[in-house]
Chains A and B, each alone.
Chain A
Amino acid sequence: MLRLNNISKRLGEFSLSGISIRISAGEYYVLLGRSGSGKTQLLELIAGLNDPDSGEIWIDNENVTAKKIQERNVGLVFQDYAIFPNMTVFGNIAYSLHCRKYSKTIINREVKRIAEELNITHLLNRFTYNLSGGELQRVALARTLITSPKLLLLDEPMASVDASLKDDIKRTFRQLNKKGLTIVHVTHDFREAVSLASRVGVIHNGRIIQEGSPEGVFRRPVNKFVARYAGIRNFFRVSFSNDKDTWKARCDGNLVFRLPEDRYPAKGLLIVRSDAIKIHNSEPDPGNDNRYKGIVKEITPSENGMEVIVDAGELFYVDVSSDEFKMLNIREMSDVWISFAPESGIALQGNV
């Protein structure tokens, strides 16, 4: 549906380089990156607001690299919605239809239809300066969807919306995608990627550094940057060694992890997801797991319960659900045991 072939673009000090992405029809593709990573610039290239220095953009088997913005049939919803303040909500939504010189009857009918679909009929006659973030977003979405775009580009669509409205908006995006609309959604928040994407691309310093299913990207991040994005906080600088057919990773602080059979570099990083580590009040059954004794340094509430920081020679960040936390009955300075399966360790090469 959308194919970017080796796109490069220099923008002052910053450049997008060698970006190639293929997105199939009906896919929900989330482009994840920090601010300044080039994700908005990439959206603007796809929409046609800028031209790439090199590379090609294909939409529906047609090379649109040199095509005008108006002929690409791509809808772009801007981060702060870019609602026209000199027009009413109706004027904003009808804008594209006026550009296409539709009759008044058709404009009225279409605006009404899309406004009903997005629950903003009551706002049609209002000016936009005192609308809430959520309302503005629906207006922006209606204004874009009324053009029946082949491809919908969303630039940080949740950035200016109250947390309470995010679920509603996600539901709207999911529904649009279910109806067959291909969506490219740019965000800095990995949770949006997890909850919406059928595929994720991570962009950093103008390059796509990892692409795949959300599970694939967040379970097997290719480097520390992606791992941080996936919410992983346990990073250990290690040297890998093979001792009697068992792979081990030794931390600078001498803690040793057992690892599954695989190929490892001499030195690198080992990461462990916080939810892959278990806490025990007493020494767990000996098994294949890595086990360490430690002291609880800090307990802080987290999204899913509690985050417990355990010092076991190295600091471990452990996610504990509220129920589990109650059962464990631990407090700061308690002695605890932690364990995790060798398979939970993800090795990253070199000083990444």
Chain B
Amino acid sequence: MAAYKKDRARIRQITAIVLTIDNMTASLPIDVERRAQVAAALLARLPARCVLSDPEDTRPYECDGLAAYRQLPMIVTLPDSEEQVLAILNVCRELNVPIVPRGAGTGLSGGALPIADGVVLSTARLNRIVRIEPFARTAVAQPGVRNLAISEAAAPHGLYYAPDPSSQIACTIGGNVAENSGGVHCLKYGLTVHNVLRVRVATIDGDIIDLGSDALDSPGLDLLAVFIGSEGMLGIVLEVTVKLVPKPAAACVIMASFGDVVTGGNAVASVIAAGIIPAGLEMMDRTSARMVEPFVKAGYDLDAAAILLCEADGTPLEVAEEIAHMTAVLEGAGASAIAVSATEAERLKFWSGRKNAFPAAGRISPDYYCMDGTIPRKHLAHVLLGIERMEATYGLRCANVFHAGDGNLHPLILFDANQPGEFARAEAFGAEILALCVEVGGTITGEHGVGMEKINSMCVQFSRAELDAFFAVKRAFDVPFLLNPDKAIPTLNRCAEFGRMRVTGGRLPFADLPRF
């Protein structure tokens, strides 16, 4: 508690809710002659308003939500039609220029980090909702449409688009497709891959193809499934058809406190074992609860080691039945206190702390590093205790928020980039958390993507043969290897380099993990 107060004294307002360190990676210089050549070729086929090459104009594109990684792009293109997208692809293919697609730039893994000799293709002007079809329960949107805008447009019909990443007011549907975005309701309602019917794609060859359809399946291989979550490396999204679902008439949330994380983790298992699939099932540890409470005043139990939020939605009758069932299960699982939201305002208040965990971290710490591992839920206590040990090792604090329903953990490592060496320690701390996630059978990224940030950790999770298979998938779509080519899948050299740097716990840094 003392440490907590001392840290609160250091609170300073920051505007960005993510890392805010400048020059963490040195931006490579731009080849001015090459830029002039490519810009001229683009301007021959596009109006001037669609091509930015002056550093003053391209500077805003030098990073995405992971601002620690920055690179000034050679050129930024802003197409406002499909024809212009094809023109950009054709020019880049002819001149062998790499392309980095970009939506709203809210991604947290550096997936939209520019390439020094590359072109950024922003979908910002492809921002039209093409149509809402209430009878078919679908919406057709261009890639630059914001996630929330789809639900807003569907609302008059009593429908909405279910995946709700926390950045949904800003993030775009094209970016959601690239990252297979989730949200707090995906245990019940699924991820992007479960809610997209069709994607219209421009390939690097300049073809327009439909993956998926308005029917529930398509002939041949399910290319839509592999395209979703491919981080802009397989094609440019031109249009997305999403499923809309009926808006539940009612929702209610239970807030339960637990004396230790093991009991809290077991309570999650008990809810599932009782045959309940909650609309939302989230956990916060004590550090998180104490971090957010001063700002949101949600009435969190600050003595609890873990707080569980468990939501039911549906018809009022269904909700009442499910809440009674959940309450009984949570009481039986050893909850030390239980509160049920009585009104919609109270429900939102209970959620406010969880939803504001990231901004709150920004308020109590100059910087923070948001991790995103997924683990089998049964290992929750083991992983949380491991993170606690690492806090001592690295001399940094970590607040944990957890999509408990689907095992997706978001440790927030708090640090101060102005203190020499702290960012490096935070990065090493994060990499060790991810290694622990893999060790217990989990994965290095649940929903934020690999991008540039976790590309080294891919060497931990996958064998060389598996990484080569990913490259083969990429080449099946992108033979010239020009679409976001330096992201997500590490090369042999990179893994070898990473292996030399990374030694943890006396284990061989780069031993091939047994896979079978």
Q: Do A and B come from one complex?
A: no
